[in-house]
Structure 1
Amino acid sequence: MMRVIPESHAVSLYRGDALLFRHSAEAPAIHVGRGQARFDMYRGNFEIEDYLEAREPLRHLEVLAEGDGHRLAFRRHADDALQLELRLETRGDGATLTTLYAAPGINRTWWRLAAEQGEHVWGCGEQMSYLDLRGRHFPLWTSEPGVGRDKSTYVTWRSDVENRAGGDYYHTNYPQPTFLSSRYYACHVETSSYADFDFRHEDFHELQVWAVPERLELFAAPSYLALVETLGARFGHQPRLPEWVYDGVILGLKRGKAHAEEKLDQALSADMAVSALWCEDWAGIRETSFGARLFWDWKASESRYPDLAGWCRELGERGIRFLGYVNPYLCVDGELYPVARDRGYLATDGQGGPAIVDFGEFDCGVVDFTSPDACAWFKDVILKANMLDIGISGWMADFGEYLPVDVALANGVSAEVEHNRWPTRWARVNAEAVAERDKTADATFFMRAGYTGVQAHCPLLWGGDQSVDFSRHDGIGTVITAALSSGLVGNAFHHSDIGGYTSLFGNVRSAELFKRWVDLAAFTPVMRTHECNRPGDNLQWFDSAELTQHLAHMSRVYRHLAPYLKAQVEEGAERGIPVQRPLFLHFEGDPEAYATQTQYLYGPDLLVAPVVEEGVEARDVYLPAGETWVHLWSGAVEAGGRRLQVAAPDGRPPVFFRQESAWRGLFESVPGRDG
């Protein structure tokens, strides 16, 4: 229960006996100030600086009882003008600090919540490098995540030098100003402005916002599972995945129709379980120094996919769906750009002309999703007529991070304020188009960008553009962290590009990496391959019989587990509980359950520990205490509460199930199991 203890010049907020927030003259929890920001964007990568003009504590507080809440009036000192006025309200399981007034000129605020030694903190959207955020700070600004994301590596250094694109541990496509604490509460800051959540201090967490936020929301629950469910209800639930998804792997191919037909036949001949073809080049290809890029003019390319509508029907008769690709930008050399420009559907440069954004050797206009007319046009012409109506059953809804801060928008709001909102606006446009064609249960789309509220619109996340390697901050292991962190704030369904995407500076995909990624993907809500940005330089599943057979085997494992997965998807759609879960979500009393981010629970009954390091034949696995675990492949029974080395040959990643699971019969008949 949340409770407020007011004093004449101080106020405290408790969850039970645990202090969450206290403001007093001696230890002010709120500071205000002014700053001048500089944002420099280059192809979705941002250099951000702040010239801080002032930061001052609001030491003087007057607390006034008002109805069932309290009005808090903050000044720098007793004789000062009013600087900030908040309303503090509590309910049984939460509290809200709502801004009623802020003095003109304040555009920086700092909010402190109480912290404890040994506390764990999670969330902040989709984080790639660290699941437990304690001990670090996290700037929250949607952007390209960077290539490499580790300043000590050659790939990151080279990316910084050549493309200003190296990134760091905190860069993410999907930030969100929401975190969960091991003290059984969560905090959400309602703002779209740049923020930086700092968890480095022993006694407090400091939440910096480059604005006066609308409110701070605090949620309490008796368990982590209940806390996640509360956040799911707050931000919205994703729809169930379409039934056809469970039929097998989605094959990512982007070399035209003839190539796709050939590789589909190869897959089916190998007894591969295939649910769909994902041909992101359906609208055409543009070759750049980065690799094979797409032609951003969203209509079927007759040269690459002649009579695509007819082919979608033919594939459907064989039980195979066709998926495409789209993003919220229009290339200036396409047919759709001048239509959108002439009708006023594009963001402008402030001088009356369309804002032009460099996407790497080609320029694009930005569809203005603050304009209802632009949204309706994009839905009707592109997503419905050009995609859904010809039989496309889903797509990658890419980007959403690139809104420049210097463009002018139809709603008159600063693009700096709209920037973080853009992924959610983009998700809503896609979701509405699908719903308006009554296909929410039959079509899907997946996104990498996100922000507060994206959960209610985006049915499926993917982990973004990982490097094609085992690197600590940008390789295969980061997709586990991404799934777990985003899942805690209400995103129940997550997956990744099998084999990774970004191949630069001689960094190419190995057979070992590809097989390890296939093994991981079989235990995620969706299996999907990707040819990556340089298909000709990188190994593909169809390049050898060994890789084809490996993918085929694990696709059958995925299909076999579909009944169990469907049950977890149902729980995700109804309650917002993620399919991939950190161990502590079910084992709160086991200290070791907090110490790992490279293994996870797949639903409540399967424990998955994928191999995410190069050149190893086994890996360390922790089996949580209080359960007896059964090795999925051998049937060996192991006691919980201990670590063990588990052999990890290709096609048999370390996976265990609870001995008492109601799904035991399904698990014991998995393809590839001994005996």
Structure 2
Amino acid sequence: MNVTHNENSITISHKGRTVFKHDSQNPAIFLGVGDAEYDMYRGNFKITDYVTERLPLRKCVVQEQAGSYLLTFSLDGEPTLEMSVVVTDRGRLKASFKALDARYNRFWIRVSATAEEKVYGCGEQLTYFNLRGKNFPLWSSEPGVGRNKNSYVTFLADTKDKAGGDYYNTNYPQPTFVSDKKYFCHLETTAYADFDFTNADFHELQCWNIPEYLLLDAEESFPALVENITDLFGRQPELPDWVLNGVILGIQGGTEITLNKLQAAKDAGVEVAGAWCQDWQGKKVTSFGKRLRWNWEWDSEMYPDLDKKIFELKEQGIRFLGYINPYVLEDHSLYKEAESQGFLATKKDGSKYVVDFGEFYCGVVDFTNPEACEWYKGVIKTNMIDFGLDGWMGDFGEYLPTDCTLSNGVSAEIEHNKWPYRWAKVQHEAIEEAGKTDDILFFMRAGGTGIQGYCHTLWGGDQLVDWCIDDGLASVIPAALSSGLMGNGIHHSDIGGYTTLHGCKRSKELFQRWAEMNAFTPIMRSHEGNRPDDNHQYDSDAETLAHLARMTKIFKHLKPYIKAASKENAEKGMPIQRPLFMHYEQDNEAYEIKFQYLFGRDLLVAPVYNQGEVEKEVYLPEDEWVHVWSGETYTGGWVTVDAPIGRPAVFYRKASKDAELLKGIASY
């Protein structure tokens, strides 16, 4: 660290790069006062902020201390904010903040930038990969339907459901970004934040409280940088071995239907790793479609003999997965138990508080109460793990309303973005305490700072079952890449998407293209969607079933390759799906590629995401790349290859130690 200062200016450098520049004419920190309103409707938020003050902190006094610097900023001659700057034992630059005037609840800081700089991350971002030129509000929410205010489906979702969304809406926001200059920057806050990357000379980071600290570090390479990031936030465990044996089929409707569908899939040659039956605890039918009964115990009427069939399936090499979320259905057994023991969030006066989830109401299990966490872990261990489930979707986490009261006394506004972390921690600890970390798979869509060490895998949330660029198949590629840079290196998506609304219905072609992509991701898993009867399914016809069978054979063929990548992710934080610049940092074009990815070190995948497309234009970094299907070798640049259904644009690196295995993809 190097700090230079005089009466009017301060410059802080770290590892040879200027990170903070302040002077009385161009201040780098602002404080303010604001009053926010949060209008939540089924996980969609309309947020407004009335800012009464935004004041530049022009005056600053610098005191050099033993190995650190104390910067005291003043307003009207009164000390207002202290900023203590040190280099940690790990070599990171850490600037801690202390408010000297409690009335300020808005904070802005400018981190030095260059005009040509590119930035990535901010959790999971589905529209943009390079975030430069836009601002990104960071608040965990439903991502919205369509996610583009210029699209008709978003207009319909907004007008009918208050659920249209925009480019920045995400289940998983995180106040952390990565630069193409090979540094990361993290703002430690769980308050509403907004990172503005529109200015040439600085990135302005805003949050609606005084953050604990700002943390930055740089490395010589991107692999070293993600290792540094995951040293900080944590790392996912390795995938259970069984996950890589084939597809996890999303099936609903009961024991008989599940067993019949599994047998039919196997008879058609589908490699099946598991059955994911999200309605194992019963269903509710609403105007939205088929929903679930949120009382987390086996529904023996819908799934008779499941307690025995689970273990019979396991002997056949097929695992059974279910569903849970952090809420309990009003007036059912778990709700009554939690309410009687004081384990639910309340209104300010201590009275009952429930959340509208769409024609039914639920209580919020208060994860700030350690006893409530232990109780919910017990529910998971007894009703799910001991029952025989080998995994589940750990849904939601985004819905913590800002007007409920929590046992730790912290405002729910501040706890909101932390809720996915708390939810992941409860699930992980239940699995860990049961001794099943190596064998159980759970997946979440919600996320936040620190989730990396607890959430075993992300899934991309609820994509629309159409071809739209912002909320369809294409959107899960930047989602995987951005979240991977944050330390969530295992990511996947619902084959075929989920959201079936406003006339959108999944086509056969979309399902097949999505299955092709998911064969080159760490997990293959299908979903019927919220309105199964409107969607083309994996078994709607023999051709689709045969196509899926072939893709699962390719996925299973790659098991040793994916397993090695999963191990690398667990040990070093290296994501399985990687941006091209991860290994080709001298290639300027690679920094703008958002719909292609490296799958492990040696496969390059460019999914087809446009309807009717049978050729694919692909960018190849300089190297020797072999087109899997034709065997033709390319050395880099933009190339066009045939990509009919069943032959997605996939290349392997000729110099790969796994070249023979990767060449074998073409045999299927």
Distance 1:406 1:321 in 2: 40
Please name the residue that 2:634 is paired with.
Answer: 638
Matched, 1:532 2:529: yes
Per-residue deviation, 1:671: 5.0
Find the residue that maps to 1:151 and give its secondary structure.
coil
Please name the residue that 2:25 is paired with.
Answer: 26
Give the alignment of 1:121-132 within 5 angstroms.
Answer: 121-132=119-130
More displaced 10-residue stretch of structure 1: 305-314 or 160-169 = 305-314
Deviations 1:235-255 (A, max 9, x none): 001111101101100001112
Distance 1:101 1:259 in 2: 60
Per-residue deviation, 1:168: 0.2
Distance 1:359 1:24 in 2: 50
Give the alignment of 1:658-673 within 5 angstroms.
Answer: 658-672=653-667
Matched, 1:470 2:467: yes
Distance 2:18 2:65 in 1: 22
Matched, 1:391 2:357: no
Distance 1:573 1:308 in 2: 33
Per-residue deviation, 1:16: 4.3
Q: 8 Å contact 1:515–1:547 — kept in the other structure?
A: yes
Find the residue that maps to 1:82 and give its secondary structure.
strand
Give the alignment of 1:168-567 within 5 angstroms.
Answer: 168-380=166-378, 382-567=379-564
Distance 1:32 1:45 in 2: 28
Q: 8 Å contact 2:14–2:93 — kept in the other structure?
A: no
Distance 1:346 1:505 in 2: 35
TM-score normalized by structure 2? 0.99
Distance 2:592 2:104 in 1: 40
Please name the residue that 1:61 is paired with.
Answer: 60
Distance 2:250 2:10 in 1: 56
1:259 partner letter: I
Distance 2:7 2:37 in 1: 41
1:442 partner letter: D
Deviations 1:435-472 (A, max 9, x none): 11000001110000000000010010000000001101
Distance 1:17 1:578 in 2: 27
TM-score normalized by structure 1? 0.98
Per-residue deviation, 1:408: 0.4
More displaced 10-residue stretch of structure 1: 294-303 or 347-356 = 347-356
**Structure 2 gaps, min length 5:** none
Per-residue deviation, 1:388: 0.3
Per-residue deviation, 1:9: 4.2
More displaced 10-residue stretch of structure 1: 259-268 or 7-16 = 7-16
More displaced 10-residue stretch of structure 1: 91-100 or 506-515 = 91-100
Taking every aligned residue pair, what percent have the same amino acid on both sides?
Answer: 51
Number of residue equivalences: 667
Q: 8 Å contact 2:619–2:638 — kept in the other structure?
A: yes
Please name the residue that 2:580 is paired with.
Answer: 583
Please name the residue that 2:138 is paired with.
Answer: 140
1:331 partner letter: L
Deviations 1:120-148 (A, max 9, x none): 00000000000000000000000000011
Find the residue that maps to 2:473 and give its secondary structure.
coil
Distance 1:379 1:529 in 2: 27
Please name the residue that 1:85 is paired with.
Answer: 82
Please name the residue that 1:618 is paired with.
Answer: 615
Please name the residue that 1:164 is paired with.
Answer: 162
Distance 1:37 1:384 in 2: 39
**Structure 1 gaps, min length 5:** none
Find the residue that maps to 2:158 and give its secondary structure.
helix
Per-residue deviation, 1:3: 2.7
Deviations 1:478-525 (A, max 9, x none): 111100000001001000000000000110000110000000000000
Distance 1:633 1:95 in 2: 48
Find the residue that maps to 1:21 and give its secondary structure.
strand
Q: 8 Å contact 1:29–1:111 — kept in the other structure?
A: yes
Deviations 1:342-377 (A, max 9, x none): 111100012222211000000111111111111111
Distance 1:671 1:304 in 2: 42
1:233 partner letter: D
Find the residue that maps to 2:386 and give its secondary structure.
helix
Per-residue deviation, 1:10: 2.7
Deviations 1:9-45 (A, max 9, x none): 4321224443221111121100001000111100000
* RMSD of aligned residue pairs (Cα, Å): 1.1
Q: 8 Å contact 1:329–1:365 — kept in the other structure?
A: yes
Please name the residue that 2:101 is paired with.
Answer: 103
Distance 2:386 2:2 in 1: 54
Matched, 1:151 2:146: no
Q: 8 Å contact 2:98–2:210 — kept in the other structure?
A: no
Distance 2:87 2:397 in 1: 35
Per-residue deviation, 1:613: 1.0
Per-residue deviation, 1:8: 4.0
